[in-house]
Amino acid sequence: MIIPSPSSRSRARRLLLAGTLALSGLLAPSLGATPVAGGIATVATIGEPPTLDPMSSTADLVGTLAQHLFETLYTFDAEWRPTPLLAEELPEVSPDGRVYRIPLRQDIRFHDGSPMDASDVLASLERWTTTASRGKAAARVISSIEAPDAHTIVIRLRQPHAPLVALLALNNAAAVIMPKDKIAPVLTEFVGTGPYQLKARVPDQYIQLMRFDGYRQRPGEPNGYGGARRQYLDEIRFVPVANANTRSEAAMAGQFDYVDSLPVEALGKLQGSRSERVMLEPFGWPRLVLNTRQGILSSLAARQAVQLALNEEEMLFAAFGDPAFYSLNGDLYPEGYPWATSLGGEVYNKADSLTARKLLDSAAATDRTLRILTSRQYEFHYKMALVAAEHLKAAGFAPELQVVDWATLTQRRQDPAVWDVFITHSAFLPEPALIDFPSRDSPGWWDSPRRAQVMDAFNQARTQEARILRWAEVQQAVHDEVPFIKVGDFNALAARSPSLRGTQPAPWPFFWNAWKAAN
């Protein structure tokens, strides 16, 4: 069955404007409300995080939690521009684009009371370049990281790399700063500089964060993820609620102050409930990541067969149901972003099982089992997997769904021997190089001469205009070599208690600057 497309350019523009307004309003204080100190905010999350080490994971849940504990040299303001956080100011860059001199703030203390200096930053960045997927990618262009004095870091590059500051700013596979004596291949202590510190972690029950009294916020006003981070709450308690329906019921009952990642079915039910809806539109894009390193999809013909077999329109409808919640779009960015292009449409939303079967036959695979790794903690992932499996079956594959919890999925996808496809999603990021797929170290392991050529040209371009042109070449390479398949664009839904103030829609919700109003 083909579901009529709900998308249109005018609607896309309206959604983009709404999303831009929501993001630009991050941390805007509630009208007529005066922040008060004290209280506990309870937050229902999609499940138990696989780790609290933000370097070792690209999971959004890890980034959401860890950003309250750890901080980076830079972050993003309300207009998604890099802005200083632990750095004193934006780096001084040499005329050839190869030397970045970063001054550090001098009033910062870690949760254990020790002062932060350049030796801690140096050790942290060295760990980032050997542990984090984005850090490993950056390490290929970094020739050295130095600490010439206690308050300065110098990064020298082998070649210009335009995304470097944005990479240092992202909270996902993040370049967080920690005390050098706490650094280890596997962290046993989670000590950062953030506004909250870890008090307790009881697996499958809660993660308890307490206000860090030694926190040094930046001067000025809140500005997106940047600016002042004010600690009104005494405590933030993150509670794993893996079942999407249970989260919905908890939101309607007002059981938590904030409930993240609700299914589209909750949209109508929240009206008249004890919680308010929080909508971020457009939020991001779900995708199927293909294992290019090992197994049946190491064959380009087999990957192209998957691409042609899928009916993204049916997948989106099954996942979200309400056309107000999604848009059919195979381009990596929606209209309105500078990175939006119109390439590769000839291979998107084709549902061409006949041509797909011919391509699969040409791959000469003796075993056509296709292991699809997914989780019901993101219910829309699971629903898309069910539809995808039917279309892949029609194309000659033997799909095998492996349904696991999200923490297990993020661990299992690190092993190329145990999966062929996994389903994930990303927010629309301000800098394309922040998306995890360009890294050869991210699960999927896209590594080809074409990838290297287009990514190097994109990352070395010195002007925004040149980078936009080069990004179109990256997207064309994605459609041609199929390291992953974008399903479409979608909105995100959460819920909050009317008593929780100072929060705004954000890809990774945060609760500094939030406070509890009297009931």
Contact 82, 74 (CB under 8 A): yes
Question: Each residue of 305-339: pLDDT tens digit?
Answer: 999 999 999 999 999 988 888 999 999 998 878 89
d(CA 360, CA 355): 9
What phi-psi label fits residue 173: left (phi over 0), alpha (psi between -120 and 50 degrees) or beta?
A: left
**Structure confidence at residue 344 (pLDDT):** 60
> Which residues make Cβ contacts (< 8 Å) with residue 430, sequence separation at least 6?
76, 80, 81, 166
Q: 385, 360, 211, 219: which is closest to 300 by C-alpha?
A: 360
Question: b/e map of 397-407 (b: 16 or more CB within 10 Å)?
Answer: bebeebebbbb
Contact 183, 195 (CB under 8 A): no
**Structure confidence at residue 519 (pLDDT):** 63
Tell me, yes or no, if the two domains 71-184 and 284-491 fold the same way: no
Question: What are the structural domain ranges in the chain?
Answer: 33-69+194-275+497-519, 71-184, 284-491
Ranges under pLDDT 70 in the chain: 1-32, 344, 438, 519
- DSSP 3-state assignment of 168? helix
**Structure confidence at residue 75 (pLDDT):** 96
What residue type is assigned to position 170 of the chain?
L
- DSSP 3-state assignment of 171? coil
Pairing, β 484-486 against β 421-427: unpaired
Contact 408, 459 (CB under 8 A): no
Q: In degrees, to the nearest 5, what angle opens at C-alpha 150 toward C-alphas 148 and 153?
A: 50
**Structure confidence at residue 21 (pLDDT):** 36
d(CA 385, CA 368): 17
Kindly report the number of other CB atoms within 10 A of residue 149's CB atom.
Answer: 12
Q: In degrees, to the nearest 5, what angle opens at C-alpha 427 toward C-alphas 221 and 493?
A: 85
**Structure confidence at residue 475 (pLDDT):** 92
d(CA 380, CA 301): 28
Q: Could you tell me which CATH number the domain at 33-69+194-275+497-519 has?
A: 3.40.190.10
For the domain made up of 284-491, the CATH class stated in words is alpha beta
- DSSP 3-state assignment of 507? coil
Kindly report the number of other CB atoms within 10 A of residue 269's CB atom.
Answer: 16
Q: 238, 236, 240, 178: which is closest to 210 by C-alpha?
A: 236
Question: Each residue of 365-409: pLDDT tens digit?
Answer: 899 999 999 999 888 999 999 999 999 999 999 999 999 999 899
CATH superfamily of 71-184: Dipeptide-binding Protein; Domain 1 (3.90.76.10)
Q: ω before 82 within 30° of 0 (cis)?
A: no
Q: 323, 330, 334: which is closest to 264 by C-alpha?
A: 323
d(CA 216, CA 230): 10
Q: What is the pTM of this model?
A: 0.79
**Structure confidence at residue 12 (pLDDT):** 34
**Structure confidence at residue 487 (pLDDT):** 96
d(CA 4, CA 328): 10
> Which residues make Cβ contacts (< 8 Å) with residue 255, sequence separation at least 6?
44
d(CA 229, CA 513): 6
